[in-house]
Structure 1
Amino acid sequence: MDLPDSMWAARYPTSGPDAGVIRVERVPRPDPGPGEVLVAVAVSGVNPTDWKARSNRTGTGSSWVTPNQDGAGRIVAVGRGVPAQRVGERVWVWQAAWNRAGGTAAEYVAVPADQAVALPSSASYDLGAGLGIPAMTAYHCLFHPGPLLPGDRVLVHGGAGAVGHAAIELARHRGAEVAATVSNAYKAKLAAAAGADLVIDYRTEDVAAAVRRWAPAGVARIVEVDLARNLTTDSAVVAPGGAIAVYARTEQPVLPPWDLMVANARVDFVLVYTIDEDAERAAVEGVTTAVRDGALTPLPGARFSLAEAAAAHDAVQAGHTGKVLIDVGTA
């Protein structure tokens, strides 16, 4: 396959809270190294950690960084040690820019072969680009503490966010029942569309009371986006032996040890970038199985062109509801 020597890529030379540091330029196309594949990117997904990494850039060994961890596209070349049969494979990409200078906001990205995962033919590139960090985080929050059984009840805070949306769908895929909290009517529609059995507007309703009515024995899992805000509620509704999985950092919480001890509840803090290889493998396999079974759907949101990469980062930083995607190429 003849490939161009250069490509369009969004990149930045220095950190900064202003997305204006991002430039879209013509740059040399990367080659896949040993154990790597080269992916022609169709769609790049933007997550909160992408703009946070730009704002608080740490060393990557390169003077320029191309952002965005997640994406979807097609493998167009492979490095030494990777089966040639993978060329042409549709894939979803995760953690492309973790400790690396090349993310998915580019026409081509070289990543380790296991970070380009076969995308079932029934799945769109939009869905694939929205998996990665959100879906793997949701999977780890739900299933790392132990099995989630059919009929178990789960509380997902922030049910209209990317992680919350994936958590609802993954839990439903395993036969669990899900309550989700949201902050307005539009977000309530998104959570309900994902399959939430109970949707609670935390701005107007007593969340703890609503969950206790729905799940008198408590909830087996809580997927938590704001522990400081929700800890009192979580302590009141977690089932004996249940787990609270915290995946976002907000204010410093004050833990009520007695309430959690009485419930023999666990509080797990989750950063998907640093989970071990077994947990990564389990998340990748679990997410891909859910995609193959048709259990995961794209979260509606906003789209931008590659030339608008800075605006896409601004949208996520401003708290845009739904998934933000960047159209990169045709793959």
Structure 2
Amino acid sequence: MKAVVMTDTGGPEVLDLQELPEPPISRPTQIKVRLHTAGINPIDTKLRARGLFYGATPPAILGCDGAGEVVAIGDEVTRFQPGDKVWFCHGGLGREQGNYAQFTVLDECRAEFMPARINFPEVGATPLALITAWEALYDRGRLEEGQTVLIHAGAGGVGHIAIQLAKIRGARVITTVSSAEKADFVRELGADIVVNYRTDDLEAIVMEHTEGRGVDLVFDTVGPETFRQSLPLIREYGSIVTILDPGEGLVTAEARNRNLSIAFTLMLTPALKDLREALAHQGEILRLGGEWMSEGRLKTHVSRILQLEEAPLAHRLIEDGHTLGKMVLMTG
């Protein structure tokens, strides 16, 4: 099979298209999948640049998101048959093979049936971003109908899904973007108030639209400076959820005085620590999210579809930070 192999840590040039043996089914509960698409995520670029989890070393195949067709099953598989179309977030962290390849093998409990009437590029681009946004807004942030949420980087892979999940929950959405093009994009997704952080006064706009109280919830997908700047924008007893390390030297006096809840979301934790109940919950997220996709209530915007050998280009584009929504690799 063809696969993109991370041959070393470093820049995108360490990603090399190679011919490898197809992975075999080694346990009776596993399924073998012919991959059609693999999602590209920022975690892929970080692992390539700084190293893998589990103490693993290259060579390795990256890519957590995948979608494809079951081609073989183990003797104890009960949920799937050859020909079934599946999607999943599995592998690519250093222990199991990732999805920058034409085939992969995984336990049947880690896969879900693809949502009906949705194409492979959209489905393959979705799992990690959907689970991240869901856990941040619904599980950690406990977003409720009628609340106001500030979603940073709303045009990004996680952000644009978070906007839609917030609207499904019945919340009002304020979001930040960096250009007029991205502003138009997030408005189409349902964002109520759009702030260009390069030109607009975010604090003034938030306070204007919350009658001086601040938002109920902030979802930070950017990093330390954004995290710190967000604390004064949250109402008393409100919450902030971040998917990143808020950085060293963080002063939390203001958060304490305002009785804020601070939460973290790393959707990879269940896979890294083999937390079965949490992994099952993530499967439920894919099932319900897939139903919403089939109903047209939730959509993943795929801005660019690339071929497998273009994985280095995909990494460069992500690191440049100028993409709308998600990108995918066509693997087969």
TM-score normalised to structure 1 length? 0.89
Look up the equivalent residue of 1:56 and give its one-letter code.
Answer: R
Structure 1 stretches lacking a partner, 5+ long: 1-6
Q: Is the 8 A contact 1:225 1:249 kept in 2?
A: no
Q: Distance in 2 between matches of 1:245 and 1:139?
A: 12
Look up the equivalent residue of 1:289 and give its one-letter code.
Answer: L
Shift of 1:320: 3.3
Please state if 1:22 is matched with 2:15: yes
What is the 5 A alignment of 1:176-187? 176-187=171-182
In structure 2, the residue corresponding to 1:28 is in which secondary structure? coil
What is residue 223 of structure 1 aligned with on the other side? 219
Shift of 1:219: 2.3
Q: Is the 8 A contact 2:227 2:242 kept in 1?
A: no
What is the 5 A alignment of 1:131-210? 131-145=126-140, 147-210=142-205
Distance 1:10 1:211, change over 3 A: same
**Alignment equivalent of 1:325, drawn from 317, 324, 328:** 328
Q: Distance in 1 between matches of 2:109 and 2:79?
A: 14
Distance 1:324 1:85, change over 3 A: closer
**Alignment equivalent of 1:234, drawn from 224, 230, 237:** 230
TM-score normalised to structure 2 length? 0.89
143-152 or 170-179, larger mean C-alpha shift: 143-152
What is residue 106 of structure 2 aligned with on the other side? 111
Q: How big is each residue's C-alpha offset from its partner over 1:58-117, in whole Å with a ceiling of 9 and x where there is no partner?
A: 366675211111121122222242216443222222032134241111011112222222
Q: Distance in 1 between matches of 2:249 and 2:196?
A: 22
Look up the equivalent residue of 2:327 and give its one-letter code.
Answer: V
Shift of 1:324: 1.8
Please state if 1:130 is matched with 2:118: no
What is residue 297 of structure 1 aligned with on the other side? 299
Q: How big is each residue's C-alpha offset from its partner over 1:104-151, in whole Å with a ceiling of 9 and x where there is no partner?
A: 110111122222221111222122112222211111111223632221
Look up the equivalent residue of 1:203 and give its one-letter code.
Answer: R
Shift of 1:295: 2.5
Q: How big is each residue's C-alpha offset from its partner over 1:172-207, in whole Å with a ceiling of 9 and x where there is no partner?
A: 112222111111111112221222111111111111
Distance 1:260 1:277, change over 3 A: farther
140-149 or 197-206, larger mean C-alpha shift: 140-149
Look up the equivalent residue of 1:181 and give its one-letter code.
Answer: T
What is residue 314 of structure 1 aligned with on the other side? 316
Distance 1:244 1:287, change over 3 A: farther
Structure 2 stretches lacking a partner, 5+ long: none
Q: Distance in 2 between matches of 1:64 and 1:305?
A: 21
202-211 or 237-246, larger mean C-alpha shift: 237-246
Shift of 1:287: 4.1
Q: Distance in 2 between matches of 1:169 and 1:317?
A: 24
Distance 1:86 1:193, change over 3 A: farther
Q: Is the 8 A contact 2:62 2:100 kept in 1?
A: yes
Q: Distance in 1 between matches of 2:85 and 2:249?
A: 42
In structure 2, the residue corresponding to 1:82 is in which secondary structure? coil
Distance 1:232 1:307, change over 3 A: closer
Q: How big is each residue's C-alpha offset from its partner over 1:220-260, in whole Å with a ceiling of 9 and x where there is no partner?
A: 22110234323454222223332211113475462332x21
Distance 1:85 1:144, change over 3 A: closer
Q: Which runs of 4+ in 1 moved over 6 A?
A: none
Distance 1:246 1:85, change over 3 A: closer
What is residue 5 of structure 2 aligned with on the other side? 11
State the percentage of identical aligned residues. 28
